[in-house]
Chains A and B, each alone.
Chain A
């Protein structure tokens, strides 16, 4: 589904990604871990189409298409979704309006009719229940005045409504209390299907207890230094990242 080859990305004068390779197949869940500042957010933002980064080399293909050539909204309409590490507050833009506009944009792209108002409302209600969110959040400005945890839930609510094929989750677990973590994980798991894939960035093995990954990667120094199954996460929890960096330097 997603194939990244030798991806090199610069921001300003800084080379952040230095030849990154990664393949995620449909039905799989991948976790990316790595030290602060190693380029994890850069990777998912570049995949979602954020401007301000310069791709200096390599490719990213999504379902056989050149992902990097597409506008951010095209990627979203083709099924790519990014849950932001820092969701943006947009006062004056209604939360439920954004959900509806996003859903309709995707449906239109697929040649489907606009969602019926009644059908939409019951869909949103169902997903809000899943996320254990109060309906009062619907009529507030997008993330406006939401607590850190509420913002993360709102991201997953959007994901649950938009039903992407490729979900990129950037530290969706950070800032969540234990109960909220379970709720969010539940929301993510409900999306798992044979024709969908999830790429999630996290610092904590804890999340992986709830959302079991097929693969775990360590991103450090702009490259994937090590990949393994979920036991790698347990090992990282115990030993930190230094041994991997040293191993890579020695190689």
Chain B
């Protein structure tokens, strides 16, 4: 085998020319962005040699040329939005659209603003805040940092509660723009909120979304986080979520991946104080040639912490799904309860789902359970339904939906659940039914 010829331009080169073309003020924030870019350039995009990326090849993404997404208003399709009574922020190609957003009234103790506003008002403060976020950032996080411009900042004082969901719409396309939004959620003691992120792509757009969400939960805080990914089937979606949980706080994430040609969600939950509890649930449904990858990392860094993961995959056509759940139990983190379940359904002989738990346990008094199954639709159940007069399509649709039901039923927001059911119905062609 001969060595591959050097490429004329690498993906890093392309991102560099986009980075250099940006007019940026000379301030601390720009320095921070530049430093992030240089670190990104040094490591480049991940390859399959890295354990975390074993099942996902980024070649499709590497060859793409994206344009910087402009803050110009895009054609939003409000019919695809979920009815929501709370706050709404529309990020069109990563830029907040004030005209479509409603952020007031805000309950006492709640601060909700766009990252763009914060940067415009006090860039030095933003830079200082970002510098304090000490963490080994992945290459996509670094890329996000380098191109950081807008996003959402949610700040809850101790005891503050936002009863209505905060609905963030990431509207992408048309065209081939890239967007690097960032969402910060800081929850004071015993505060609570619900964040719904909805990624929507205009048909046929070939965009890149590279979002980063970081959540910081102080003692007793509660966050429900929903991610609904419906990018266009020719787009790329990379989502990184970091949740840091202090004592007795609770974080629940429901991640539904339906769109994009290639998507990767990376969720890390760090259980840093006793009594902290993380629930991660998800449903991914690749069809056609979609590749949908979910990677979770639950870090039990403190004793008496709880985690519960439940993921379901449904793959059709030549779709490929990946779910890998890594659990770390640190030394001295005793009395841990960690559960993980992965159930998968293959609807066609060419579909594929790779699933693997990974446990790294350094304490001895722990309860860890994990189970993974991959199968096909139950032919006896299919026959049973057809013998009652239901068409084959209808019977299949019902069984697929029944399979997804254990995830759907955990969605407490009624309009969101209905929206999802409708999406799944359309995808799996069947009418309404639930047990």
Question: In the assembled complex, which residues on chain B have CB atoms less than 8 Å from the CB atom of A92?
Answer: 399, 401-403, 405-406, 434-435
What is the size, in residues, of chain B's interface with A at 8 Å between Cβ atoms?
28
- Contact, CB under 8 Å: A101 / B390: yes
A-binding segment of B72-80, B285-293, B377-385: B377-385
Bound state CA distance, A119 and B388, in angstroms?
20
Question: In the assembled complex, which residues on chain B have CB atoms less than 8 Å from the CB atom of A221?
Answer: none
- Contact, CB under 8 Å: B389 / A91: no
Is the CB of A234 closer than 8 A to any CB of chain B?
A: no
Query: Contacts A88-B380, A92-B405 given: A72-B399 contact, CB under 8 Å?
Result: no
- Contact, CB under 8 Å: B379 / A51: yes
- Contact, CB under 8 Å: A94 / B386: no
Closest B residue to A77 using CB positions: B389
Is the CB of B392 closer than 8 A to any CB of chain A?
A: yes
- Contact, CB under 8 Å: A71 / B381: no
Question: In the assembled complex, which residues on chain A have CB atoms less than 8 Å from the CB atom of B8?
Answer: none
- Contact, CB under 8 Å: A91 / B390: no
Pick from A72, A77, A97, A140 the residue with the most CB of B within 10 Å: A72
Question: In the assembled complex, which residues on chain A have CB atoms less than 8 Å from the CB atom of B435?
Answer: 91-95, 97, 139-142, 144
Give which listed residue, A52, A109, A139, A162, contacts B388 with CB less than 8 A: A162
Chain A-chain B contacts (Cβ-Cβ < 8 Å), number: 96
Is the CB of A65 closer than 8 A to any CB of chain B?
A: no
Is the CB of B112 closer than 8 A to any CB of chain A?
A: no
Bound state CA distance, A142 and B390, in angstroms?
14
Bound state CA distance, A190 and B171, in angstroms?
59
Question: CB-defined interface of A91-112 with B at 8 Å, one 1/0 digit per residue?
Answer: 1111101100111011001000
- Contact, CB under 8 Å: B392 / A76: no
Bound state CA distance, A141 and B395, in angstroms?
14
Question: In the assembled complex, which residues on chain A have CB atoms less than 8 Å from the CB atom of B405?
Answer: 91-92
Query: Contacts A88-B381, A93-B399, A144-B435 given: A71-B392 contact, CB under 8 Å?
Result: yes
- Contact, CB under 8 Å: A106 / B384: no
Is the CB of A82 closer than 8 A to any CB of chain B?
A: yes
Pick from B394, B405, B435 the residue with the most CB of A within 10 Å: B435
Closest B residue to A98 using CB positions: B388
Is the CB of A90 closer than 8 A to any CB of chain B?
A: yes
- Contact, CB under 8 Å: B389 / A50: no
Residues from 26 to 81 in A contacting B, C-beta threshold 8 Å: 48-52, 71-73, 75-77, 81
CB distance from B315 to the nearest CB of A (A): 18
Bound state CA distance, A72 and B395, in angstroms?
12
Query: Contacts A94-B435, A97-B433 given: A73-B390 contact, CB under 8 Å?
Result: yes
Bound state CA distance, A87 and B384, in angstroms?
8
Question: In the assembled complex, which residues on chain B have CB atoms less than 8 Å from the CB atom of A93?
Answer: 385, 398-399, 402, 433, 435
Question: In the assembled complex, which residues on chain B have CB atoms less than 8 Å from the CB atom of A81?
Answer: 387
- Contact, CB under 8 Å: A73 / B386: yes
Question: CB-defined interface of A138-154 with B at 8 Å, one 1/0 digit per residue?
Answer: 01111010000000000
Give which listed residue, A51, A88, A97, A106, contacts B389 with CB less than 8 A: A106
- Contact, CB under 8 Å: A72 / B398: no
Question: In the assembled complex, which residues on chain A have CB atoms less than 8 Å from the CB atom of B387?
Answer: 48-49, 72-73, 75-76, 81-82
Query: Contacts A93-B399, A93-B402, A94-B433 given: A72-B386 contact, CB under 8 Å?
Result: yes
Closest B residue to A102 using CB positions: B388
- Contact, CB under 8 Å: A91 / B379: no
CB distance from A172 to the nearest CB of B (A): 15
Closest B residue to A141 using CB positions: B435
Pick from A49, A92, A140 the residue with the most CB of B within 10 Å: A92
Is the CB of B376 closer than 8 A to any CB of chain A?
A: no
CB distance from B86 to the nearest CB of A (A): 30
Give which listed residue, B389, B391, B395, B434, contacts A162 with CB less than 8 A: B389
Bound state CA distance, A232 and B231, in angstroms?
69
Is the CB of A84 closer than 8 A to any CB of chain B?
A: yes
Question: CB-defined interface of A112-144 with B at 8 Å, one 1/0 digit per residue?
Answer: 000000000000000000000000000111101
Pick from B383, B388, B401, B432 the residue with the most CB of A within 10 Å: B388
Question: In the assembled complex, which residues on chain B have CB atoms less than 8 Å from the CB atom of A95?
Answer: 435
- Contact, CB under 8 Å: A102 / B390: yes
Bound state CA distance, A159 and B58, in angstroms?
54
CB distance from B425 to the nearest CB of A (A): 13
Pick from A82, A140, A141, A142 the residue with the most CB of B within 10 Å: A142
CB distance from B401 to the nearest CB of A (A): 7
Question: In the assembled complex, which residues on chain A have CB atoms less than 8 Å from the CB atom of B384?
Answer: 84, 87-88, 90, 142
- Contact, CB under 8 Å: B383 / A50: yes
Question: CB-defined interface of B353-397 with A at 8 Å, one 1/0 digit per residue?
Answer: 000000000000000000000000011110111111111101100
Bound state CA distance, A199 and B384, in angstroms?
18
Bound state CA distance, A52 and B379, in angstroms?
10
Bound state CA distance, A144 and B386, in angstroms?
18
Is the CB of B431 closer than 8 A to any CB of chain A?
A: yes
Is the CB of A158 closer than 8 A to any CB of chain B?
A: yes
Name 12 A/B residue pairs within 8 A (Cβ), A-sorted: A49-B386, A49-B387, A50-B383, A76-B388, A90-B384, A91-B405, A92-B401, A98-B390, A103-B389, A139-B435, A158-B388, A162-B388
Interface set of B (CB-CB < 8 Å, partner A): 378-381, 383-392, 394-395, 398-399, 401-403, 405-406, 431-435
17 A-B pairs besides A51-B383, A98-B433, A105-B388 with CB distance below 8 A are: A48-B387, A49-B386, A50-B383, A72-B383, A73-B386, A73-B392, A88-B380, A90-B402, A93-B399, A97-B432, A97-B433, A97-B435, A98-B388, A102-B390, A105-B389, A109-B389, A140-B435
The 7 closest A-B pairs by CB, nearest first: A92-B402, A105-B389, A102-B388, A97-B433, A141-B435, A76-B389, A92-B405
